[in-house]
Structure 1
Amino acid sequence: MMESLAPIHVISLPRSGRRDAIAALLSDRGVEFHIEDAVDGRLLTHSELTAVYDDAAARRRYGRSLTSAEVACFMSHRSVWRKVVDTGRAAVILEDDAILEPVFFERVLHADESELSAVADIVLLGRSKLRRAASSWTYFNEPLRWRASVGGLRVGVPFKQWTSGSVGYWISAHAARRALAYSDGPLGTLLDDWPWHRDEGGARVAELRPYAVWEDFERLSSSIEQERKARIKPRSSLHIAALWPLRLLRTTVRWSLVALQRLSSGSDVVRARHE
């Protein structure tokens, strides 16, 4: 088996019935991986949940309580961060409904750890609830306001970060150690609340473009999503339609800023050559 530069940890509920498929895929590609048993929110007792969960903090941030599955999800990822710290190596963390692009095996796993660590602590490799067919539109609406090239991979920070899922991400050992520290104590946030990781933990959260990992959400149901939908009122189609003009204006402003930044960078390069 070829050892990848970045070990892979696949978080999977034993009852999900998904781990065999992704294990077969990774085995066929000859990469190192570890299946990690996820914490099952259904099996957490009331006392266990109370001991690890801060409902007041969750309500302050989201206006609602977290589901037991959401709390268990954060617990599962924290348990893997401990293993990343123990190895002292950067790692890729996947969820068991991940679909992997060829570039994941060809470039992501072999990206230089020190080069990636120089620009980011966490690199999101995909986004939840996004269809491949809609990705071009997403890249257009959410351009990167800052970007860098690492081993042929384009990594950067979009204008807005939000709870965009955790289907796949790269994390350095240093970032995993820090994440364990700033998330210590009762949990009151979602695992994929990347702005919280950035603002409260000081984590440099970046994204890979184009994405190398997709969530198989149309074929595989999510227990987390089912519980979450029961607590969140969906937006009406009228509300969504009313937001389109604002979104178009926002996209225009963002690309204007990106263009100005690139022009400025180009001018700096030309000036440096002349000097």
Structure 2
Amino acid sequence: MPPHIYVISLATAHERRVFMRQQLDALALPYTIVDGVHGATTPDHALFGKYNDKKRLRRRGAGSSLRLSQLGCFASHYLLWQRCLENEQAIIVLEDDAILQPTFTDFYQAAEQLATQYGLIWLQPSRKQDQHSGRKIGNLGPFTIRQYTKGFSGTTGYLLTPLAAKTLLAYSAEWLYPVDNTMDRFFEHSIAATGLDPACIQQDDDFESSINVADAGTRRTLPDRLRREADSLKDTLARGWYNLKAGMTARNP
């Protein structure tokens, strides 16, 4: 039985819900639309207590605090990870800015088999594809399965197994980064950055561009810039060491 599809959407996002229903209904696929956590209207959400702002500022400098919209996005995904683990069933998670590609049906038909081999499969393209092609680790139907030395930005869509959900939940006992950055830290939680080639969904960039925008008027001091660069360098070195141990190189064929 293929993993169930869950679509994260704010209750007020009526047009996007219609858009997602039209796409999935046209493919006759079963799905559930779940209300996303609206950070601005629920600033006291219980899960937001996991966020450690002081620690983030020490790492990333002034002006780097996560916004309520980012915390709401994190909570929305976190709740589905919990559901995946509790139900002991793999799931497919889509955000309501996902544009399904013709290969999505092929992916859905292969999803059950993919879930037996991989804990997390990204369905969107790697935003760093122009920097590296990823190492081929398998084939299934029309897809090449690739593992990437640099991961994925955004959480437009992914396949998740209960074991991987358990790992992400444990890793996310404390929140320091946006949810996509957290999931992308494979060099710490050891869930490989694995994706499909070709990707079976695309992201609506017009929607994405309205979030994750730097706060207007924020000017970082030199110590803040140095703190941010030091933290980024630390991640780069940790990522490189992980990839080296895994036998990965930046441009595997």
Instruction: Provide the C-alpha distance between the structure 2 equivalents of 1:101 and 1:205, rounded to a whole number of angstroms.
Output: 21
* SS of match in other structure, 2:205: coil
Residue 191 of structure 1 corresponds to 179
Residue 224 of structure 1 corresponds to 211
* SS of match in other structure, 2:179: coil
Residue 215 of structure 1 corresponds to 203
Indicate how the Cα distance of structure 1 residues 199 and 24 shifts in structure 2: closer, same or farther if over 3 A, else same. same
Residues 1-275 of structure 1 aligned to structure 2 (within 5 Å): 5-17=2-14, 18-45=16-43, 51-63=49-61, 64-105=64-105, 107-111=106-110, 113-118=112-117, 120-127=118-125, 139-161=129-151, 164-184=153-173, 186-193=174-181, 197-218=185-206, 220=207, 223-225=210-212, 228-230=213-215, 254-255=250-251, 258=252
Once the two structures are superposed, residues 180-221 of structure 1 have per-residue CA deviations (whole angstroms, 9 ceiling, x without a partner) of 22212x421211015654133222231111211111123x46
8 Å CA contact 1:6–1:110 kept in 2: the answer is no
| Amino acid aligned to 1:126 | Q
Instruction: Provide the C-alpha distance between the structure 1 equivalents of 2:130 and 2:151, rounded to a whole number of angstroms.
Output: 15
Question: Offset of 1:229 from its aligned partner?
Answer: 2.6
Would you say how many aligned residue pairs link Structure 1 and Structure 2?
221
Instruction: Provide the C-alpha distance between the structure 1 equivalents of 2:45 and 2:33, rounded to a whole number of angstroms.
Output: 28
Question: Offset of 1:160 from its aligned partner?
Answer: 1.6
Question: Offset of 1:114 from its aligned partner?
Answer: 4.7
8 Å CA contact 2:136–2:144 kept in 1: the answer is no
Indicate how the Cα distance of structure 1 residues 114 and 177 shifts in structure 2: closer, same or farther if over 3 A, else same. farther
| Amino acid aligned to 1:90 | A
TM-score where L is the length of structure 1:
0.70
Q: Greater helix percent: which structure?
A: 1
| Aligned-residue RMSD, C-alpha | 2.8
In structure 2, runs of 5+ residues without a counterpart are 220-248
8 Å CA contact 2:48–2:75 kept in 1: the answer is no
Residue 245 of structure 1 corresponds to none
Residue 234 of structure 2 corresponds to none
Residue 241 of structure 1 corresponds to none
Question: Offset of 1:175 from its aligned partner?
Answer: 1.0
Question: Offset of 1:150 from its aligned partner?
Answer: 2.7
Instruction: Provide the C-alpha distance between the structure 2 equivalents of 1:9 and 1:112, rounded to a whole number of angstroms.
Output: 14
Q: Which piece of structure 1 moves more, 95-104 or 194-203?
A: 194-203
Once the two structures are superposed, residues 38-72 of structure 1 have per-residue CA deviations (whole angstroms, 9 ceiling, x without a partner) of 00011133585762321123234443211111111
Instruction: Provide the C-alpha distance between the structure 2 equivalents of 1:146 and 1:61, rounded to a whole number of angstroms.
Output: 34
Larger Rg: 1
In structure 1, runs of 5+ residues without a counterpart are 131-137, 235-252, 260-275
